[in-house]
A and B are shown apart, each in its own frame.
Chain A
């Protein structure tokens, strides 16, 4: 076992993890943060996206030990029912969620884009969201929601 220290959603944790343990397993099984979803488990679908030190990563491709010393934001740290993040609010408003499995990853990719670029172009939004696959929505309403969240952030 390896001891790691990391900050998840503004809370510091010290965890004992297996050498082969993935970050998604540490988040879901050790911290009970079940909002991070495992889709393909091989870094293709983006469902398990979290923000690690200001970058979006597929948490299925990061070993927990590699996250030692890092600052992580998972979907639980973005907002909640009472005070949703502007991205979450826009997703609900336009109906950008269907089955919901890709949604946590989508929200984190959008949040990270807007954190860095408050006025993204349509192309920049498309590129930022292209690592997150969705089979239900056709992306149409998701892209619209990100645009609305960006507009609201500007005001």
Chain B
């Protein structure tokens, strides 16, 4: 017989290295005389899309489009260290470093422009859609490229180097007190499963995943990270187990260590709550690891809801579910 159940899982997760470990990202920025800018950072884009995020952050701050920003990343010869692509930290931490560096280069550009436009303060200068000019005075405005080109002829360059350190203090081992992580990521997911009581097989039919991302700088990437996290969570809950024997891995192949395939994934509905993180770049914070955390709890709870079997060790294999059903029958 096939029985259906629904389960809920909630999570909170401290992003960044945490516990007082120095969590530093850096960036070099230059605004060029063709109206483009380069961002150099050690942050490695492993597919999650950090290069796109940094281009978006720089473009937003400079009144340009993402395509006008060239991001060089992860080159130990040329880029400043930005730590690992881990701990859900690149959008937040390196994003902050990029934003600080862009603002510094922009600040020297605005000072130069204020002088050129005979404006008493750089507060009166704005960058918009590739142009630089005096706020509210369209007659004093020119392409950004022209301004930077003229500046170059006078020996002025708009280059910056900045770094950003995440807020983290170690936890006192005596009292357990401290502020080990900032910011925290929150999420909640619901899963619907179908359990076959004859075979113990579990099929995940649907997952709805809601995550607090601060601000979704790139909604397509947010959806992609959520779907990726949920699918890894399904593997974690139902399939994946590293079998060790005398220190050796017994199942070091994808035929014996099973991960989800296209046939194992349900319909995944990704939703996000945008509650701006005031210390993050444009209100953003990380999502990478948090996306998979509630999935496991939601699936295990859904199995319980479907057949009344409480799974207490992962993965929830058909054998464990059948054993649970048998024990329940015996009472």
A-side interface residues toward B, CB under 8 Å?
40, 42, 44-45, 94-95, 97-100, 125-127, 129-133, 135-143
Contacts and interface: CB of A to CB of B under 8 A. Distances in A.
Contacts of B224: 95, 98, 136-138, 140-141
A95 B262 contact: no
Nearest to B267: A140
7 contacts: A44-B253, A94-B220, A129-B261, A138-B232, A140-B265, A143-B262, A143-B265
A127 B224 CA distance: 21
B118 to A, nearest CB: 46
B185 interface: no
Nearest to A122: B267
A93 B220 CA distance: 10
Task: Report whether over half of chain A's contact residues are helix, strand or loop; otherwise say mixed.
Answer: loop
Contact of B227 (A45, A126, A133, A140): A140
Interface in B66-94: none
Nearest to A42: B253
A133 B254 contact: yes
B66 to A, nearest CB: 14
A95 B220 contact: yes
A44 to B, nearest CB: 4
B268 A140 contact: yes
Interface string B231-243: 1100000000000
A98 B228 contact: yes
B254 A138 contact: no
B61 interface: no
A99 B47 contact: yes
B220 A44 contact: no
Given A100-B47, A130-B263, A136 B255 contact: no
A96 to B, nearest CB: 8
Most chain A CB atoms below 10 A, which of B220, B226, B254, B268 = B254
A131 B255 CA distance: 11
A95 B262 CA distance: 16
A136 B47 contact: yes
Contact of B268 (A40, A42, A44, A138): A138
B46 to A, nearest CB: 6
Contacts, number: 76
B268 to A, nearest CB: 5
A135 B265 contact: no
B223 interface: yes
Contacts of B48: 98, 136
Contacts of A94: 220
A125 B265 CA distance: 12
A40 B47 CA distance: 19
Given A44-B255, A143-B262, A138 B47 contact: no
Nearest to B46: A99
Most chain B CB atoms below 10 A, which of A100, A130, A136 = A136
A100 B49 CA distance: 11
B265 A139 contact: yes
A16 to B, nearest CB: 32
A138 B263 contact: no
Contacts of A132: 262
B19 interface: no
B60 to A, nearest CB: 19
A130 B261 contact: yes
Contacts of A97: 47
Contact of A138 (B46, B220, B221, B228): B228
Interface in B236-264: 253-255, 259-263
B229 interface: yes
Contact of A130 (B220, B227, B262): B262
A139 B231 contact: yes
B55 interface: no
A98 B220 CA distance: 11
